[in-house]
């Protein structure tokens, strides 16, 4: 029997009673981690799951020694043992050498982790020169081998490419190559696939699994995607508010979860085989104290022959002209003859990998891109052909919710100013007093307190900011809402709340949605018809149930096959 802080020879990493706080100001601190303990055995995969703010990433940064020294406080009695060595008391130089070689980390967003002014080969080689003592020639040869190992096409040319010249999936592969360069014993992967398409996500997960087997690494996998966790993890640790709520084998946690919070996480995510009228939320479970026994009624989806079409798109085209050589240019056809209809009160799901053209379709419909061909008929009038003066009256009737609400909300405006501005521009409401009353009613409608009116976007969570973005769209009382990856970056619980809100608004106001996403489980839940795009073209379109039950195109089948089936 091992003592609490004594090394266990079977464990690669032992975290004991880890307590971390952050200084809010000179007098106050915020407890982020509240005495958590867990182990990572040799040659195993441990998943750390939970919502944003649960403490997952803070725990991993503490292991890596990357907590900000000026604002973080690691309380006495905390212990992090790596192969029996106490990391928290280790000198900075020794800790840095160990965490570059024995422990490595893959971050969530590769573009913010890779230096944009250096070629990817130089950045990988820098790791090898620093930690392995290689010269430039040896480091370049090893870098080529690593790029090939992680599946980068044509590594001989890509080694001198800059991060901006590579796709998101290739950037993540470069981060993985950098992480495994020194053959670490522990690889920490912090949300490495969150922003990736399902097919790229599957490739990255298969790559990590193969590298783990080859190099006999242990992996600490941090994510909020429970479907993914069920497929890859040996053990699962569920965190909330800086505490461990449940820990056990993957089979136990997913097959018979004991904690009501774990049950809630598992049930909040849309499932391919179910479509309830409303998704259950975290509060539904926590208020009940256990898993609700009520069987949720199911919602039917699909277009009907007598549906009134609010939007008819015919042969929509969009090309971009790329510079080639000194004076030449080349046409890139991003959208190729896309046609579809959108009935009133229905949802068209648009799916496909990055670069398939789905976002370009949405932006072109709103004339944020100028179309190079085709027509978009709204109530019989072609939006693409009308003059700007005539189109101004239609702007408020077709709105868009962007993927990143923080980037689309003015950080210098309060929520009240953000919501009042479009109402003033489009002369909605008689005066500011009436508009303010309407804004307060909208805030209540999207589940935000009245006090939000005077606060700024940075004071809200991601899910709350998305609600603000939805409220801004609702100020226009639109007929059509384009949702561009509007829930892809949200935790499963917040995602359920936003999806329920969108469905309530559609039921109440008969709005039509164009729902753009790479999350096929979410699309099946909310869409009546699904349009599959590949390389700018529509390869398949069918009612939601029919497409998921009987996909016709090989590309559609490959997308569906890549969905994690674990949860």
pLDDT band at residue 350, thresholds of 50, 70 and 90? Answer: very high
282 Cβ partners below 8 Å, 6+ apart?
261, 264, 265, 268, 493, 496
CB-side exposure of 366: number of CA atoms within 13 Å?
Answer: 21
Min mean pLDDT across 102-106, 253-257, 288-292 is at 288-292
Q: Is 538 left (phi over 0), alpha (psi -120 to 50) or beta?
A: beta
Q: Which run of H or of E encompasses 400?
A: strand 398-401
Give the tens place of pLDDT for each residue, 152-171: 888 998 899 998 888 777 88
Mind listing the pLDDT tens digit for each residue in 325-339?
777 888 889 999 999
The dihedrals phi and psi of 65, each to the nearest 5 degrees, come to 75, 30
Average pLDDT, the chain: 88
332: which strand partners?
A: 320
SS (H, E, C) 92-129: HHHHHHHHHHCEEEECCCHHHHCCCCCCHHHHHHHHHH
Instruction: Give the pLDDT confidence score for residue 232 in this predicted structure.
Output: 86
Helix, strand and coil percent figures for the chain, each rounded to 5: 40, 25, 35
Neighbours of 543 (CB within 10 A): 16
Residue 565 has a pLDDT of: 65
CATH class of 1-99+213-257: alpha beta
pLDDT given at position 566: 58
- Give helix 432-445 / helix 415-425 axis angle, nearest 10°: 120
The Cα 315–Cα 126 span in angstroms is 50
Q: What is the pLDDT of residues 431-449, one digit of tens each?
A: 989 999 999 998 988 888 8
For residue 50, the SS3 value is coil
pLDDT number for residue 289: 55
Nearest to 155 by CA among 167, 169, 140: 140
Query: What pLDDT, on the 0 to 100 scale, is given for residue 356?
Result: 87
pLDDT the model gives residue 503 = 92
Instruction: Report d(CA 111, CA 75) in Å as an integer.
Output: 33
| Proportion of the chain above pLDDT 70, given as a percent | 96
Residue located via tokens 């949300």: 191
- Rounded average pLDDT over 374-403: 90
List of residues 6+ apart from 497 with CB closer than 8 A: 281, 447, 463
Which class would CATH give 310-561?
A: alpha beta
Q: What is the mean pLDDT of residues 267-290?
A: 79
Which whole number is the average pLDDT over 65-79? 90
Examine domains 1-99+213-257 and 310-561 and report if their fold is the same.
Answer: yes
Question: For residue 342, what are the β-bridge partners?
Answer: 311
> Distance between CA 190 and CA 437 in Å, rounded?
43
pLDDT tier at 3, thresholds 50, 70, 90: very low
Q: Is 75 helix (H, G, I), strand (E, B) or coil?
A: coil
User: Per-residue pLDDT averaged across 222-244, rounded?
Assistant: 88
β-pairing, 373-378 with 309-324?
antiparallel
pLDDT of residue 38: 95
Phi and psi at 312, nearest 5°, equal -130, 115
The rounded percent of the chain whose pLDDT value lies above 90 is 48
- Taking residues 98-123, report their average pLDDT: 86
User: What are the boundaries of each domain within the chain?
Assistant: 1-99+213-257, 310-561
User: Is-contact 42 10, C-beta < 8 A?
Assistant: yes
Confidence class for position 2, pLDDT limits 50, 70, 90: very low
Give the pLDDT score at 567: 47
Nearest CA among 364, 400, 404 for reference residue 487: 404
Question: Mean pLDDT, to the nearest integer, of 394-414?
Answer: 86
CA distance 72 to 29: 9
Q: What is the pLDDT of residue 293?
A: 52
Q: Residue 290: which pLDDT band, with cuts at 50, 70 and 90? A: low
- Cβ pair 103, 188 in contact under 8 A: yes
Mean pLDDT of 296-305: 87
Question: What beta strand segments (E) does 250-386 contain?
Answer: 309-324, 328-343, 347-351, 373-378, 381-382
- Residue 557 · residue 551 · CB < 8 Å: yes
What's the CA gap between 124 and 127, in Å, rounded? 5
Confidence of residue 14 (pLDDT cuts 50, 70, 90): very high
CA–CA separation, 122 and 118 (whole Å)? 6
Q: Phi and psi at residue 3, in whole multiples of 5°? A: -70, 160
Of 11-15, 329-333, 438-442, 480-484, least confident by mean pLDDT is: 329-333
Phi, psi of 553, deg, nearest 5? -90, 140
Q: Which residues pair with 311 in a beta bridge?
A: 342, 378
Among 126-130, 325-329, 338-342, 519-523, the minimum mean pLDDT is found in 325-329
What was the pLDDT predicted at 1? 39
Q: Residue 440: helix, strand or coil by DSSP?
A: helix
């Amino acid at each position: 029997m091992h003592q609490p802080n004594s090394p266990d020879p079977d464990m690669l990493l032992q975290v004991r009673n880890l307590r971390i706080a952050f200084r809010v100001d000179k007098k106050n601190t915020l407890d982020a981690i509240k005495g958590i303990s867990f182990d990572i055995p040799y040659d195993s995969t441990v998943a750390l799951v939970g919502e944003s703010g649960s403490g997952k990433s803070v725990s991993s940064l503490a292991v890596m020694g990357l907590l900000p020294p000026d604002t973080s406080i690691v309380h006495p009695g905390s212990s992090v043992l790596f192969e029996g060595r106490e990391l928290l008391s280790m000198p900075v130089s020794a800790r840095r050498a160990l965490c570059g070689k024995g422990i490595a980390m893959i971050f969530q967003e590769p573009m913010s982790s890779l230096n944009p002014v250096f070629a990817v080969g130089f950045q990988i080689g820098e790791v090898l020169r620093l930690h392995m003592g290689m010269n430039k020639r040896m480091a370049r040869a090893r870098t080529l081998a690593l790029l090939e190992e992680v599946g980068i096409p044509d590594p001989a040319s890509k080694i001198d490419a800059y991060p901006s010249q590579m796709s998101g999936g290739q950037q993540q592969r470069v981060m993985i190559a950098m992480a495994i360069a020194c053959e670490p014993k522990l690889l920490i992967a912090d949300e490495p696939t969150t922003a990736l398409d399902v097919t790229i996500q599957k490739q990255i997960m298969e790559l990590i699994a193969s590298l783990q087997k080859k190099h006999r690494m242990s992996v600490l996998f941090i994510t909020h995607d429970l479907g993914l966790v069920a497929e890859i993890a040996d053990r699962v640790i569920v965190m909330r508010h800086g505490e461990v709520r449940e820990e056990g084998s993957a089979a136990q946690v997913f097959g018979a979860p004991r904690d009501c919070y774990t049950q809630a996480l598992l049930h909040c995510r849309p499932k391919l085989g179910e479509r309830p009228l409303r998704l259950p939320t975290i509060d539904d479970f926590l208020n009940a104290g256990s898993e609700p026994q009520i069987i949720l009624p199911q919602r039917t989806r699909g277009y009907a022959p007598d549906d009134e079409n609010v939007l008819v798109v015919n042969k929509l085209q969009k090309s971009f002209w790329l510079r080639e050589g000194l004076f030449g240019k080349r046409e890139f056809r991003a959208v190729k003859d896309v046609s579809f209809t959108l009935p009133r009160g229905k949802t068209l799901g648009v799916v496909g990998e990055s670069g398939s053209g789905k976002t370009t379709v949405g932006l072109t419909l709103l004339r944020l891109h100028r179309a190079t061909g085709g027509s978009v008929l709204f109530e019989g009038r072609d939006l693409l052909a009308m003059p700007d003066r005539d189109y101004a009256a239609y702007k408020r009737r077709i709105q868009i919710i962007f993927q990143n609400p923080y980037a689309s909300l003015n950080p210098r405006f309060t929520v009240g100013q953000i919501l009042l501005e479009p109402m003033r521009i489009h002369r909605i409401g008689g005066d500011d007093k009436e508009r303010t009353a309407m804004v307060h009613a909208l805030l209540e409608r999207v589940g935000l307190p009245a006090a939000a009116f005077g606060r700024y976007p940075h004071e809200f969570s991601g899910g709350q900011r998305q609600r603000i973005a939805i409220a801004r769209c609702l100020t226009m009382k639109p007929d059509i809402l384009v949702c561009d990856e509007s829930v892809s970056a949200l935790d499963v619980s917040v995602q359920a709340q936003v999806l329920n809100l969108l469905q309530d608004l559609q039921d109440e106001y008969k709005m039509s949605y164009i729902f753009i996403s790479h999350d096929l489980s979410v699309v099946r839940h909310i869409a009546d018809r699904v349009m599959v795009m590949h390389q700018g073209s529509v390869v398949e379109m069918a009612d939601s149930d029919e497409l998921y039950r009987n996909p016709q195109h090989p590309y559609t089948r490959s997308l569906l096959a890549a969905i994690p089936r674990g949860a």
